[in-house]
Copies of this chain bind each other. A is one copy, B any other.
Amino acid sequence: MTVKQLFDKQDNLKNDQKFAFEGWVISNRGNNKLRFLVVNDGSTVNNLQVVVKGEEANEKFKIDDINLGTSIKIEGILKLTPEAKQPFELVADQVQIINLADNDFPIQKKEITLDFLREIPHLRAKTAIFKAVMLVRSRLMLEIHNYFQERGFLNISAPIITSNDGEGAGETLIVNDGSKDLFFKQKAFLGVTGQLHAEAYAQVFKKVYTFAPTFRAENSHTSRHLAEFWMMEPEVAFCNLKEIIHLADDMLKAVIKNTIKKQAAEIKYLDELQGGNLLDTLDKFLSKDLTILEYKKAIEILKENKKEFEEQNIYFGLDLASEHEKFLAEKIVKGPVAITNFPKEIKAFYMYQNKDKKTVAAFDLLAPGIGEIIGGSQREESYDKLAKRLAELKINQEPLQWYLDLRRFGYVGSSGFGLGFERLVMYVTGISNIRDVIPFPRVAGSIKM
């Protein structure tokens, strides 16, 4: 049994029940007669307090030797402690030290900064905050799979290595084999999206999704960008803009709700760390119905409030900045909002061209506390319109010919979106730097391990 299972059924625990477990020591305090070991077994952010009673036991089990990080095996008797902070503790019969930690173990009781921990990604999961974040991350990933699985979506593996350099934005990473001969006999890139490939599969299976690493050679050293991150992209045939927006909203709400419920201890820990702000923020998202707001209308609202912003030059055609997005979600709508029908100039070539000839059927889903979390669109159906748009944008059609050809063989419309998975983990954990929500972050100029 794990410590998580103990906590999960704490209301039905009996006094004097036997319990044995293995874990790592978080603290060791007390005296020769009475020692308190706080131990974590990795199943939950909650620790189990172990009491070692009596001089004899303390000497026999060499409790004095145990330092932070030590791995131990413990057998004992559970004692309910309804008056104490922790609901129960384990009075040890047997303590077996597996391995001590060397003296230079960097995770000690003193204050440790997240900056410092970023230098030791192989060890930082031994802190409570990273335990909580990684347990939430894993849960979010599985909840996303379950959400789509229950609704009959096919998981497809879009390729990582691709001959398409995304949208020609020049932010792709190039792959070769190190020798001057190109292993693939042509230019090869690390994919920036699986969407185009997912569209091909939506023309057979109707509902598909990808969930895989994605790459950007962005040189921006912000707290919101990684060179390597996970992206989830559903693509749905027979689906228009409005329907895909509602799928995005429903998926986010279901996944976040289940995670809050199933990782209650971790969310509670993270919420307390942030002075109770985390659950408040999430609740503003969960409890409010989605608002849909045309980009044109959003620009009007922002113009009326331009004194609130650093960037005050607000016009139809502006690519909204993070401050604008947060303002709309937090001050105007006070809940989730989808901005729709953006000027075509600031969106990708494959988006459905609206009848006004100025806008495309795209959306950005903004959430209070984080801003943009999902972007998507209905896809252009017309071969001719796609070809014309590529020409206007001076994008070479040849490598995308296969994509255009999808329109020629019994094509049905489809819509989809992309969710930057680490952005979601940041949102649900309240962690403000994206490097702290993925085990081994990759950014320009640095690859640790």
Residues of A with Cβ closer than 8 Å to B?
2, 4, 22, 24-25, 41-43, 69-71, 98-102, 104-105, 120-123, 125-126, 131, 134-135, 137-138, 141-142, 145, 149, 152, 154-164, 172-178, 183-186, 188, 190, 196-197, 200-201, 203-206, 212-213, 215, 217, 219, 227-228, 230, 238, 402-403, 405-406, 408-412, 438-440, 442, 444-449
Contact = CB atoms under 8 A, between A and B. Distances in A.
A135 B208 CA distance: 11
Nearest to A148: B142
A161 B204 contact: no
Contact of A409 (B105, B206, B411): B105
Contact of A162 (B137, B138, B449): B449
Which of A101, A137, A405, A409 gathers most chain B CB within 10 Å? A409
Nearest to A210: B439
A22 B412 contact: yes
A213 B160 contact: yes
The number of times this chain is found in the oligomer is: 2
Nearest to A449: B402
A405 B105 CA distance: 10
Given A42-B154, A173-B175, A200-B439, 18 more contacts: A22-B238, A24-B204, A69-B409, A99-B411, A131-B204, A138-B154, A138-B155, A142-B145, A161-B227, A172-B178, A176-B176, A177-B217, A184-B227, A184-B445, A184-B447, A188-B447, A213-B213, A403-B449
Given A22-B238, A175-B174, A184-B446, A157 B125 contact: no
Contacts of A43: 152, 205-206
Nearest 7 A-B pairs (CB), nearest first?
Answer: A42-B205, A71-B410, A174-B178, A69-B410, A122-B200, A159-B440, A102-B408
Contact of A156 (B142, B157, B228, B439): B439
Contacts of A409: 69, 101-102, 105, 123, 126
A228 B447 contact: no
Contacts of A406: 122
A219 B215 CA distance: 24
B157 A438 contact: yes
B156 A410 contact: no
10 contacts: A25-B410, A71-B412, A99-B411, A101-B409, A121-B200, A122-B406, A125-B201, A173-B176, A173-B178, A175-B190
Contacts of A152: 2, 4, 43
B155 A200 contact: no
Given A138-B155, A145-B142, A173-B177, A123 B200 contact: yes
A141 B122 contact: no
A169 to B, nearest CB: 13
B159 A439 contact: yes
A415 to B, nearest CB: 15
A22 B141 CA distance: 31
Contacts of A149: 142
Contacts of A175: 173-175, 190
Which of A184, A227, A410 gathers most chain B CB within 10 Å? A410
A219 B182 CA distance: 12
Nearest to A399: B449
B24 A447 contact: no
Contacts of A176: 173-174, 176
Nearest to A230: B157
A18 B412 CA distance: 23
Contacts of A402: 120, 122, 448-449
Which of A42, A71, A162, A213 gathers most chain B CB within 10 Å? A42
B447 A163 contact: yes
A127 to B, nearest CB: 9
A303 B162 CA distance: 46
Nearest to A174: B178
Given A102-B409, A174-B175, A190-B175, A205 B159 contact: no
A26 to B, nearest CB: 11
A206 B134 contact: no
A254 B25 CA distance: 35
Contact of A197 (B4, B184, B196, B449): B449
Contacts of A158: 439-440
